[in-house]
Amino acid sequence: MKTNIVRKNPMQVPSPVGKYSHITIIPKDATMYAFSGQIGVDQDDQLPADLIEQTTNTFRNIEALLATEGLDASHVVKVNIWATEEIDWHHFYQQWEVMFGHSYPSMTIAYVSALGLPDIKIEIELWAAK
């Protein structure tokens, strides 16, 4: 789906250290969507103990959530990621590439001591525009 969202990495600043864009420009006539953080529960409402499984489920849940509003990854403008343990970046970026291809939204990542429930290891919040 074609969007008018523009993603930029200006030459005047250092290149991103990951797969994200420094700037995401949202057209003035766009509708903004703020999504609650998504976690890695599976289709049976079970939360795996493993971070990799939680990450895979989280991306699956994000795709399903976007689809409920007629959106896809091209509409995502900002991603905030919180994790309670070190992310396996190889696995994470495999999921990221499947979702975003090479049109990366802006991103913030933080490691925190805890999330909303004790067993949650990763939570990903999205902002989207259409």
Q: Is the pTM above the cut of 0.85? A: yes
> What is the structure's pLDDT at 3?
64
Print the SS3 string covering 7-37.
EECCCCCCCCCCCCCCEEECCCCCCEEEEEE
Name the packing angle between helices 89-100 and 51-68 (round to 10°): 20
- CATH number, domain of 23, equals 3.30.1330.40
Domain that holds residue 28: 4-127
Confidence of residue 99 (pLDDT cuts 50, 70, 90): very high
Total tally of structural domains belonging to the chain: 1
Instruction: Give the model's pLDDT for residue 113.
Output: 97
pLDDT in tens, 61-72: 999 999 999 999
- Indicate whether 1 pLDDT > 70: no
pLDDT for 2 beyond 70: no
Question: Which tokens is 68 given?
Answer: 């409920």
